[in-house]
């Protein structure tokens, strides 16, 4: 940092604390930041129609349930996988660019079961990050990375080491707990 408290890579004219100038600098990204925040607010509210209004007809999700269809059908199928659920997303960070917005958030959830593991009334708290690609003001793709393993462990799921197998037998397959 220079003696003026600025990064040496930024010219003094680029650093401002003037709210009016700051809004001019951030202006183009504000809409995408709002899209990122609104998406999780609508998920918390279980507002499927509101979410459908935010996505493109070809929207896809990466890192969610496998083989979700595109667009509206994908949102509806995503919510159908939840079962009975009450959740509240709390946004921690949002980083927006011209065509993407990244959101880091924590979800507090009451859900009957998750990935087949019953909750027995246990509340789960987990973190997740979402990156949305924005096209024409609509979300066209969502990448999700969440602590699903942490949720399973909160519900009492246990990881057990597999047994060794010989080259003559088939590799073990995943089993439902």
What are 28-86's pLDDT values in tens digits? 689 999 999 999 999 999 999 999 999 999 999 999 999 999 999 999 999 999 989 99
pLDDT, position 88: 97
Q: Is residue 36 part of a domain?
A: yes
Q: Is residue 176 part of a domain?
A: no
Q: Is residue 74 part of a domain?
A: yes
Longest distance between any two alpha carbons in the chain, whole Å: 71
How far is Cα 61 from Cα 133, in angstroms, rounded to an integer? Answer: 10
Q: Is residue 32 part of a domain?
A: yes
Q: Is residue 54 part of a domain?
A: yes
How far is Cα 109 from Cα 56, in angstroms, rounded to an integer? Answer: 27
Q: Is residue 11 part of a domain?
A: no
Q: Is residue 121 part of a domain?
A: yes
Tokens of 89: 């997303």
What does DSSP assign to residue 64?
S
CATH code: domain of residue 43? 3.10.450.50
State which residues form the domain around 84.
16-154
Residue pLDDT, tens place only, 70-84 = 999 999 999 999 989
The torsion angle over the Cα atoms of residues 14, 19, 21 and 26, rounded to 10 degrees, is 80
Handedness of CA 148, 107, 42, 119 (dihedral sign): positive
Nearest to 116 by CA among 65, 162, 46: 65
Q: Is residue 2 part of a domain?
A: no
Q: pTM for the whole thing? A: 0.76
Domain count, the chain: 1
Any residues with CB less than 8 A from the CB of 133 and at least 6 apart, and which? 99, 100, 139, 140, 141, 142
How confident is residue 170, by pLDDT bands cut at 50, 70 and 90?
Answer: low
Handedness of CA 73, 74, 78, 81 (dihedral sign): positive
């Amino acid at each position: 940092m220079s003696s003026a408290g600025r990064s040496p890579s930024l010219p003094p004219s680029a650093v401002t604390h003037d709210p009016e100038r700051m809004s001019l600098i951030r202006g183009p990204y504000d809409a995408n930041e709002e899209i990122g925040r609104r998406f999780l607010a609508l998920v918390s509210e279980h507002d499927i129609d509101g979410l459908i209004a935010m996505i493109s007809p070809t929207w896809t999700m990466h890192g969610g349930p496998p083989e979700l269809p595109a667009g509206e059908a994908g949102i509806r199928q995503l919510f159908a996988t939840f079962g009975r659920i009450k959740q509240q997303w709390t946004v921690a960070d949002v980083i927006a660019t011209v065509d993407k917005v990244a959101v880091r958030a924590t979800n507090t959830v009451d859900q009957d079961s998750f990935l087949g593991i019953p909750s027995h009334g246990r509340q789960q708290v987990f973190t997740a990050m979402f990156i949305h690609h924005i096209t024409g003001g609509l979300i066209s793709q969502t990448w999700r990375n969440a602590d699903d393993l942490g949720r399973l462990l909160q519900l009492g799921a246990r990881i057990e080491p597999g047994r060794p197998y010989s080259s003559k037998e088939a590799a073990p397959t995943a089993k439902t707990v």
